[in-house]
Structures are given as C-alpha cells and as structure tokens.
C-alpha cells in the first residue's frame, strides 16, 4: 500500500491502463475502498481519496465545504493523472468528484474517462431535506440510524461517537451548504447509480445528472438503501468494471 496524504493506493500497479479515483461519502474514509482491488480487473488501479479528519488523517481538522474538499484534492492530483482516469463518488463524494472534474476541465483541459455519481441527486437540484449538520446530538443520531450507514455498534458507543460526530457534522455541513454554480456540461460519460430502497435519492434525482454531460448517460438502480455500495458490492463492481472496460476498448479502437 502507498499512502500520500489525500491519495492512497491499496495495491499500486504501474502497468494499469486506467486509474479509478474513489471519493468518500459523509463520515467515510479511504479504507472503504481498499478491498475493491480484489474484484476489479487487474488493469484498473484504485486510488482512494483520504480527506482530513479521518482514517490516516484523523488528527487533522475536517473541512466544512465541498469547495475546500475539492481544493485540497485539486492541489495534488495532477501528478496522479499520468494515465487515463475515472472518478467514482458516493453521496458527498459524487459532488466532490463532479466539482473536481469541472475544475480540471476548465483549468487544465482534462477530463475523467468516466464519472460514476452514486447515491446523490444531480447537483443542480434543490435538496429535499432540511440541513442536518446542526441538529442536536439525539436528533442527529436518529438521522444516522435512519440512513443505516453507521454500524450499530458504533452508534451505541458514546466513546466512538464522540470521535466520529465532528467528522460527520463537518461533512454534513459541506453537503448542506453546497451551492451549485451553473456551468458547461462535462464532455465525459456519466453513470448515475442509486439504491432501490434509498429514501434520500430517487430515480428522478438521478435522472438530473443527464444535464451535466454532453456524452453518454445511464442510470443503474441496485438492491439496497442509501449504502447499497456495501450491501450490493459484487454487482456494483461488476457494473463499474463493464463501464470502464467499454471505455478502454473504445480508446484502443478494438
């Protein structure tokens, strides 16, 4: 494993044809993606993004805006773009990936070969729910139980929750205060993914991502709730693999 602040390679592979950057959901860490290398094709290299305040950067202050999260990644990502790359993001990570892709396109003329936007409605759509980051602790814990993404043993441990809550509040603040700025659509394929039982994001919200690309667009609904990326992981990684392999085949003209 190679760790470099924001960029962690669970299994470095210099011979890989494509690099898949994986962006975290609220409260999530890069470790959520470490096992993906065991199921993706060998020519896809995983680079998991580690934001301040979690995982290997637990002692750092978490960031409270999508803009600042994208900024710290943008500042170091260029030396990791030495081969074709794709972006995957879940929930908060979808918006970070989207804003980073827009900035790379605007300032560097670079684009991911594919953007996978998971568990998040299109950025131009208004939020369906009121902000949660400033809820009193009992109400916030209730919201976390509803989302079903935090292990029960963590929710039931006051000690662990005192470590995690500042990170969750910072990430929720980043999501809840995000403001979309209209801009040109991306010129790369976008796949929007959702869970069929996700109360946060429905197919209409996912359909909105179509406006954000001039290239191909598709929607995939998977079994599960908001955290289907864990419960339906084998199917999810098969879908990602197929999408990336189609892109790589097209690039090589095969």
Instruction: Tell me whether residue 19 is in a domain.
Output: yes
Over residues 140-155, mean pLDDT: 74
Q: Which pLDDT tens digit goes with each residue over 201-228?
A: 999 999 999 999 999 999 999 999 999 9
* The two three-digit tokens of residue 211, written as one number: 């406006």
The pLDDT of residue 252: 63
Scanning the chain, the segments in alpha helix (DSSP H) are: 66-77, 92-108, 137-147, 152-155, 158-176, 203-207, 228-231, 233-251
Q: What is the mean pLDDT of residues 3-12?
A: 90
Question: Would residue 162 count as lying in a domain?
Answer: no
190-195 and 217-222 beta bridge pairing: parallel
Which range has the worst mean pLDDT, 26-30, 139-143, 182-186, 242-246? 139-143
The pLDDT value recorded for residue 160 is 79
Give the integer Cα–Cα distance in Å for 82 and 30: 21
**Segment 167-195 mean pLDDT:** 95
Number of domains in the chain: 1
What average pLDDT score do residues 180-193 get? 97
| Cα 64 from chain centroid (whole Å) | 16
171 and 144 Cβ atoms separated by less than 8 Å: no
Phi, psi of 193 (to 5 degrees): -125, 145
Domain contains 227: yes
- pLDDT one-digit tens code per residue, 57-115: 988 999 999 999 999 999 999 999 999 999 999 999 999 999 999 999 999 999 999 99
- Gap between the Cα atoms of 197 and 225, Å rounded: 4
Let me know if residue 166 belongs to a domain.
Answer: no
CA distance 23 to 119: 12
Distance CA 254, CA 245 (A): 11
Residue 217 falls within a domain, yes or no? yes
Give Cα 11 distance to the centre of its chain.
Answer: 19
Q: Which of 17, 91, 94, 105 is catalytic?
A: 91
Task: Give 123's contacts (C-beta < 8 A, 6+ positions apart).
Answer: 95, 98, 99, 178, 180, 212
Please say if 68 is a catalytic residue.
no
The residue-averaged pLDDT of 39-58 equals 94
User: Residue 81: inside a domain, yes or no?
Assistant: yes
pLDDT at 146 over 90: no
CATH of the domain at 226: 3.40.50.1820
- Mean pLDDT of all residues in 14-33: 94
Distances (CA, A) of 49 to 6, 74, 212: 5, 11, 23
Domain that holds residue 225: 2-126+182-251
Res. 156: pLDDT tops 90 = no
Q: What is the pLDDT of residue 62?
A: 95
Q: What is the pLDDT of residue 254?
A: 46
pLDDT at position 141: 81
Looking at the predicted structure, is the pLDDT value of residue 253 above 80? no
The pLDDT > 90 percentage for the chain reads 73
Dihedral over alpha carbons 181, 183, 189, 195 (to 10 degrees): 20
The answer as to whether 168 is a domain residue is no
């Amino acid at each position: 494993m190679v760790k470099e602040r924001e960029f962690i390679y669970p299994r470095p592979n210099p011979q890989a044809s494509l690099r898949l950057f994986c962006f975290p959901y609220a409260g999530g860490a890069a470790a959520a993606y470490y096992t993906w290398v065991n199921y993706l094709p060998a020519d896809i290299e995983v680079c998991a993004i580690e934001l301040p305040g979690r995982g290997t950067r637990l002692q750092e202050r978490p960031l409270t805006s999508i803009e600042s999260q994208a900024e710290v990644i943008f500042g170091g990502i260029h030396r990791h773009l030495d081969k074709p790359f794709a972006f995957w993001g879940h929930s908060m990570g979808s918006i970070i990936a989207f804003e980073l892709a827009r900035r790379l396109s605007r300032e560097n003329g670079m684009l991911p070969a594919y953007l996978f936007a998971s568990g998040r409605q299109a950025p131009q759509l208004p939020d369906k729910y009121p902000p949660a980051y400033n809820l009193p602790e009992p109400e916030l814990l209730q919201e976390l139980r509803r989302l079903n993404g935090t292990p029960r043993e963590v929710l039931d441990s006051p000690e662990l929750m005192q470590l995690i809550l500042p990170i969750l509040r910072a990430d929720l603040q980043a999501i809840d205060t995000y403001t979309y700025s209209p801009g040109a659509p991306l010129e790369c394929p976008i796949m929007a993914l959702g869970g069929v039982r996700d109360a946060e994001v429905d197919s209409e919200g996912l359909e909105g991502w179509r406006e954000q690309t001039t290239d191909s667009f598709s929607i995939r609904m998977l079994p599960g709730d908001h955290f289907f990326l864990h419960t339906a992981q084998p199917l999810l990684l098969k879908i990602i693999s197929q999408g990336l392999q189609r892109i790589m085949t097209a690039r090589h003209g095969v």
